[in-house]
Amino acid sequence: MQIPETKVVAPHEPVLELSDIQGLVVPGFLKPHFTLLGGRFPRDAAGSIQPPAVLAFKQRLSTLVDEFDHGARTLEDRRAHRRFVRGNARNATNAQVAPKTTLVGLAFAASGLRALTPGAADIPSPAFQAGLVERSAFLGDPTDPAHEGNPARWKVGAPGGELDMFLVVAGDEREAVDTKADELANVLTQLGIEASYGEAGDVRPDMPGHEHFGFDDGISQPGIRGRASAARDDFLTERWISPSQTPEAWLFGLPGQDLVWPGEFVLGYARTSPDPLTPGLLSPTVPTWTRNGSFLVFRRMRQDVGLFWRTMRDLATSLRHLPGFDALTDEYLAAHLVGRWMSGAPVNRVPDADNPDLGGDRLANNHFRFNSPTTAVPLVEADYVDSFPQAAADPAGIVCPWAAHIRKVNTRDAGSDMGGQEATYSRRVLRRGIAFGPPLADRYAEPSSDPANGERGLLFMSVQASIEDQFEFLVARWMNDPTRPKTPAGHDLVIGQNAAPGAKRVRDAVLFGSGLQQSLLSTSNEWVIPTGGGYFFVPSLSAIRHVLAV
Ligand code: HEM
């Protein structure tokens, strides 16, 4: 149905103060090379931060602040990159070289922020104030101090070595990122701050965009409902569905990409309400200078790729003896535990085999729901046709199990133990992670034939308005709880932990074979091991200038 142009009324969308919000928060650094830096103020014998170093840092911060990129610049950088990619796609013979940039962001742990301004103690987030080490057991991390994933053995942010500040440097070229990171680490050292952590993360050279198990990552991000300026069409998240054809256009950026109110990610803006087009309450700004700031979670997660694939192979072999599972391969099993094939193609759209063309097609690869079937939606680019198989309704998790990673963390149109479909909007996070370490050439390799000795994984970062209601909720309440968001589910077998106190660290997942045969998979093998991190606050640039600096 064609809706007359005059009847198309865009719903209200807030303008975000992008020149005050750090680009690390919105729109995020979408770059192939990262270096993460961590700093720690010097302490006295009693463990108290020494004031002279804090004062020296505060003084330096008043000029250092110009190093940190705001959202407007970061958005312009991203748009320039997109224009370049699209321009080259249209005119391959006159292809241009992409502009190269390096972007920087700054965040503080509660310890660092409280040293800079005592008012930081009023930030009403128990998780932020306590820090990641304190919350680690709640997230399901091993409580046995001998276990590699226990905070006592972390490589960054271990007890007594928690970071006070965290800097993210991201860019198009490794060399430029290194140079900028060295420069910033030198600034910290000169101020008497220990630059106690520095680590590079890079897109995989063999499979750009894929995480180390081999799956395309970073496909599904929530869109942000809001504009970058007062201009009518200056949307933060590009709109792809044609509003003159369907009112659904106002719910999505790309097909399947929910538009979420910005207060779920930035403090001081409207959050979700039961109606997706109506703003909810503002995310709280206590103290007031936290407006335009956000919380950043960093988790260094080592991935044991060999163990993951060897376990998938063993589980597939034993499942093949059961009726309904006779054709099962390890790739099929792993894809159904992720919810997407390695190419990124959603299993709900192609349940039986991967379709790399669908995986690589951003106009189609996120267009599916769980409770209801999908049909192709009319796009602004009228000549594009989504001709891939559409998704059938899958409310019980027959195709994409309720235990699958993507279904555990985003229930899409399905209700959950938290309520109706809208309950999922307030659980969304903006993922900002990048892989670290070299790929494992043979995915089944034993540790003895791994030149990197297992040192590879994900530098997971997420941005959200509430660590408790978003990141921690997803991990502790949905990924690690076998009965939620809905049963029959099981744990998030790919990523999650078994957080049951005192229990053996066995994890289960329910999977359906043909003829609705149901099977319970079980393993105690752990292939995602937390090896460090921290909880941080990313202040606005005005808060850095007027509250944190001298
Ligand atoms: C080593 C650890 C992890 C790996 C290998 C991993 C891998 C993946 C993959 C392959 C996808 C599907 C592709 C995509 O949509 O981007 C995905 C999606 C996602 N992951 Fe993870 N992940 C990891 C940890 C986490 C953690 C700790 C969280 C915590 C909240 C998380 C939250 C999400 C979310 C929200 C999505 C998007 C789901 C959707 O909207 O469809 N992941 N992850």
pLDDT tens, position by position, 403-416: 999 999 999 998 88
pLDDT at 114: 98
State mean pLDDT over 417-433.
Answer: 91
Please identify, by atom number, the ligand 1 atom nearest to the C-alpha of residue 406: 38
Residue 260 burial by CB count (10 A; 0-12/13-18/19+): exposed, middle or buried?
buried
283-336: pLDDT as tens digits: 999 999 999 999 999 999 999 999 999 999 999 999 999 988 988 999 999 999
Does residue 34 contact residue 169 with C-beta atoms inside 8 Å?
yes
* Residue that the structure tokens 């499942």 belong to: 319
pLDDT at 371: 94
Whether 8 has a pLDDT exceeding 60, the answer reads no
Average the pLDDT over each of 3-7, 334-338, 452-456 and give the range with the smallest value: 3-7
Residue of 202, 163, 109, 150 whose CA lies nearest to 531: 150
pLDDT at 244: 82
pLDDT at 7: 55
pLDDT at 496: 85
What burial letters (b/e) apply to 446-468, b meaning 16+ CB within 10 Å? eeeebeeebebbbbbbbbbbbbb
Residue of 382, 379, 384, 383 whose CA lies nearest to 243: 379
Residue 205 burial by CB count (10 A; 0-12/13-18/19+): exposed, middle or buried?
exposed
438 Ramachandran zone, left/alpha/beta (phi>0; psi -120 to 50):
beta
| Cβ of residue 434 lying under 6 Å from some atom of ligand 1 | no
Amino acid letter, residue 284? P
Whether 429 has a pLDDT exceeding 60, the answer reads yes
| Cβ of residue 406 lying under 6 Å from some atom of ligand 1 | yes
* Tokens at 326, concatenated: 């006779």
Give me the percent of the chain exceeding a pLDDT of 70: 96
**pLDDT band at residue 84 under the 50/70/90 scheme:** confident
Q: Please give the angle made by the CA atoms of 390, 393 and 397, to the nearest 5 degrees.
A: 120
Does residue 443 contact residue 309 with C-beta atoms inside 8 Å?
yes
Whether 3 has a pLDDT exceeding 60, the answer reads no
Whether 229 has a pLDDT exceeding 90, the answer reads yes
111 Cα distance to chain centroid? 24
Ligand 1 centroid – CA 186 distance (Å):
34
| Cβ of residue 139 lying under 6 Å from some atom of ligand 1 | no
* Tokens at 183, concatenated: 């420069």
Q: Which of 136, 302, 343, 409 gets mutated to test ligand 1 (max ligand atoms within 8 A of its CB)?
A: 409
547 compared with 378, residue with greater pLDDT: 547
Give me the percent of the chain exceeding a pLDDT of 90: 83
The CA R_g of the chain, rounded to the nearest whole Å, is: 23
What burial letters (b/e) apply to 21-31, b meaning 16+ CB within 10 Å? bbbbbbbbbeb
pLDDT at 492: 94
168-221: pLDDT as tens digits: 999 999 999 999 999 999 999 999 999 999 999 999 999 999 999 999 999 999
463-517: pLDDT as tens digits: 999 999 999 999 999 999 999 998 888 999 999 887 776 667 888 999 998 888 8
* Tokens at 192, concatenated: 């008497």
Ligand 1 centroid – CA 182 distance (Å):
30
Does residue 379 contact residue 255 with C-beta atoms inside 8 Å?
yes
**pLDDT band at residue 121 under the 50/70/90 scheme:** very high
State mean pLDDT over 260-275.
Answer: 96
Whether 421 has a pLDDT exceeding 90, the answer reads no
245 Ramachandran zone, left/alpha/beta (phi>0; psi -120 to 50):
alpha
Ligand 1 centroid – CA 218 distance (Å):
7
In angstroms, what CA-CA distances link 449 with 211, 341, 348, 443, 446?
A: 20, 27, 36, 11, 6
pLDDT at 86: 74
Average pLDDT, the chain: 94
Whether 4 has a pLDDT exceeding 80, the answer reads no
